[in-house]
Every structure is written in structure tokens, then in C-alpha cells.
Amino acid sequence: MSAALPQRQGVNVSDRARGELVDNAVAAGVMTRCAMKVALLDLKAQFATIRDQVVQAILPILDSQQSVNGPAIKQLEELVADYSGCRAAVGLSSGTDALLVSLMALDIGAGDEVICPPFTFFGTAGSIWRTGAKPVFVDIDSATFNIDPAKIADAITDKTKAIMPVHLYGQMAEMDPIMAVAAEHRLAVIEDAAQSIGAAYKGRKAGSIGAAGCLSFYPTKNLGGVGDGGMVVTNDTDLADKIRALRNHGETSRYHYKYVGGNFRLDTIQAAVLVVKLTYLDGWSAKRRANAARYDALLADCSQIVTPKIAEGNESIFNQYVIRTPKRDGLQAFLADHEIGTGIYYPLCLHQQECFKGLGYNTGDFPVSEKAAAEVLALPIYPELADEQIDFVADKIKTFLQ
């Protein structure tokens, strides 16, 4: 049997206790050196546990052929709004489209500026660009990888209309100081919560603090569908109504258009699958936190590895478990040789991307983000991982470093 290691959050484990736990794990034989495959993510393992429920949810939609705007859409919206502590939710075609439509609903466009971090998925800045607005980058905090609130004020101009903090890897950004600077300058805050449904900051759920929170249901997310999908959650019901119109070309009544929107609808099948999976989300997130705690304990004595830092008052859902090391590329290659999957989120900052050259940024402008891009490595963290698999990954990391 695998040795039990402490859960990450809510447990204070001394260095000595961590060492004893690791020694016990080794003595119990869980630090196996036999051949073992560990995928970065195994969607099939999760699907196997809920297959019958998912099939039963999909079949009535196929029989009814209500594949667009079916009843499962409203059901999911109500459930996610309640889960996120918000008054309203609007299902959309993707997390990126959720960002785009939120910007459109707030009338942000050509000539405007939106502040965001350069160390994030492309959709953050890409959605700003697509409205005609200009992404203005602000460097990140070195510990959490989220935007550094202390640097936001210096980036604000008379063209700034919004701040788009990203809750990266499943941990929320420091929202209190972000909201304070936004209030001072009368700016909207759009939370890019694509990786963080269920995460909390001082007891408040991701997406519930800013004007809008944008979720992604891409299959690899903690709450993933069987294709693309997204959602906006908000406490502003008027904003929610406008987003509902924008997702359907701006239509407010049949063939009458108040706005120029687009086709940003969430498919009914996606909603039905997500309704099933939402009931399991808290349990899956708890297992991710337990897996993170196990990694923390097993890697605690690795001086060349920095394990994730969860800021005080935050509860992460560990969409990714990201370590950092100057030896990242060599470590990734070594783990691949031992059939251990890893990922780099993200290898090149947005200000260095070819398509954003026109913004005028240069390498060196955001040193914290650039250093992170050279050092981060995501390890397998999904809920279905066995303890022995985590132990195997940690053992191989130690072997490489030694």
C-alpha cells in the first residue's frame, strides 16, 4: 500500500515530518523504479468513471434534436452561477469567446487599452486584440505567476478601460488590490478564470469579484466538456442580458438586432455533459490538492526545484501543478525518456510573440515573466493519478537532479 502523505492546504507539516514521511514512503517500497507510464493528463480514466451518466445525458438530446439552446443550457447556467457565487451565468462557445464577448459587452474597442499579464495563454491578449483594443502588459509575481498588482498603476493611461487579471494554474490573482486600483481609476475588471472554476480568494469564488468572470470548458480543464465551451459569470444581470444577445448575433427578439454580436452559443450536448461532471468537481479538486501535497512532501528536499506557492487566503484547484527549475529542458527530456508526460505553460511570453511585434515591446521588458517561461514545468496532477505514479515521477526528478 502507498504511504499516506498530508493534504496540501490546511496542514502544517514540519521539514522533519516531511522527511520522515518520505523515508517511510521509500521504506514501504512506493518509490518504485520499475517501468511505469505516467501521462500528463488521462481523460479516458476520468470518462470511464462517469461514462454511463454521460451517455444517458446525451441520448435524449439526440432523440429530441434540440442541439442548440436546449434546456440543458439554462440548467447548467443556473448551476454554475450558484456554484460560483454569482447572480447570472451565460453559456458560450469557448473560454476565449467568453473573454471577447465580455469586452464587447463593456463597449471596449478601437483606441482603448486593457491591462493583462504577458505570461498566460494566448486567448487573454488575443481577445483584447480582436476587439481593436490594445493589450498593455504588466509583469507577474514570481511566486504565484499571476499579475503583480503593485505594477498595474504605472501602466494605466487615459486610454485604459479595463484590467484583465488571469487566475493562472488554478490560483486566483490578488483581487483586493486589483479591485482597489480599478475603482480608483474607474476601470472594469474582467477575470480570466479559464483555469480556475471553483478556486477561491478569501472565500470568494473565481469570477465573482470583477464585472465578469470568464470560464473555459475545454476538455483538459478541471471541468471539461467533450469539445469547446465556455461561460461568463457575473453579478450584473444587465451585463448578462447583453452577453446573451451578443452570443446570438446581437438578437434581442426574433430577427431584431440591437447589437452586432456573433455566433458564440454553447452547444446543448456540451451543457448536458457539464451538468453531469459538475457534481464531481469538488471531489476532483480535492484529489488534485491531495496530489499536490504529495508532490510537495516528496520534493521538499530538492533544492533545485521550486514547488507551487499558494498565497495566503487562496484555495487553488491545481489546474496544473507547476514546478520551476533552471534545468527545466533537461529535466523534461529525462522524464520523457522514462515515459512521464509534462507540459510547458508557457514557453514564450505574449510580448515576444510575432503577432504582437507591433505593440513595441522587447525581450527584457518583463523579466519575471521571461524567467518563468524558461523554468516552468507542469507535472501530472489529474485526480485519477495513483499515489505510486506520483511517487515514480518524484523519484525520477530526484534521480535526474542527483
pLDDT at 127 over 70: yes
Q: How confident is the model at residue 377 (pLDDT cuts 50, 70, 90)?
A: very high
For the CA atoms of 55, 60, 61, 64, what is the dihedral angle to 10 degrees?
160
Q: Supply the pLDDT for residue 5.
A: 52
Residue 8 lies in a domain: no
Q: Is residue 370 part of a domain?
A: no
Same domain membership, residue 173 and residue 274 = yes
Could you say which of 258, 278, 298 is where a domain stops?
278
88, pLDDT greater than 60? yes
| CA angle, residues 146, 130, 116, in degrees to nearest 5 | 15
What is the reported pTM?
0.91
Whether 140 and 247 share a structural domain: yes
Residue 370 is predicted with a pLDDT of: 98
Taking the CB of residue 234, how many other CB atoms lie within 10 A of it?
27
Check whether 38 has a pLDDT greater than 70.
yes
What confidence tens digit (pLDDT) does each residue in 273-307 have?
A: 999 999 999 999 999 999 999 999 999 999 999 99
Position 82 scores a pLDDT of 98
Could you give the percent of the chain with pLDDT greater than 90?
91
Domain boundary among 256, 278, 300: 278
388-400 mean pLDDT: 98
Rounded to an integer, the average pLDDT of 57-71 is 95
Based on the fold, state whether residues 230 and 88 are members of the same structural domain. yes
- Predicted local confidence at residue 148, as pLDDT: 98
pLDDT at 21: 43
Res 4: pLDDT = 53
**pLDDT > 90? residue 25:** no
Q: Tell whether 123 and 272 lie within a shared domain.
A: yes
Total structural domains within the chain? 2
CATH number at residue 80: 3.40.640.10
pLDDT above 90 (res 49): yes
Residues 267 and 300 in one domain: no
Taking 80 as the threshold, does the pLDDT of residue 372 lie above it? yes
Same domain, 285 and 256: no
End position of a domain, from candidates 250, 278, 306: 278
φ/ψ region of 207 (left if φ > 0, alpha if ψ in -120 to 50, else beta) reads left
At residue 215, does pLDDT exceed 50? yes
Closest alpha carbon to 98 in 264, 316, 276: 264
Instruction: Please determine, for residue 7, whether its predicted confidence score (pLDDT) is greater than 70.
Output: no
Residue 75 is placed in which grid cell?
A: 440548467
Q: What's the rounded mean pLDDT across residues 49-78?
A: 96
Of 18-32, 145-159, 188-202, the one with minimum mean pLDDT is 18-32
> What number is the average pLDDT over the span 337-361?
98
SS3 397: helix
**Where in the sequence is the domain holding 318, given as residue range(s)?**
15-46+280-342+380-401
Q: What is the mean pLDDT of the chain?
A: 93
For the segment 49-67, the average pLDDT, to the nearest whole number, is 96
Confidence at residue 48, expressed as pLDDT on a 0 to 100 scale: 97
| Three state DSSP letters for 298-337 | HCCCCCCCECCCCCCCEECCCCCEEEECCCHHHHHHHHHH
Q: How confident is the model at residue 35 (pLDDT cuts 50, 70, 90)?
A: low
CB atoms inside a 10 Å sphere around CB 314? 21
Instruction: Categorize the per-residue pLDDT at 23 as very low, low, confident or very high, splitting at 50, 70 and 90.
Output: very low
Question: Is 226 a member of any domain?
Answer: yes
Q: Is the peptide bond before 346 cis (omega within 30 degrees of 0)?
A: yes
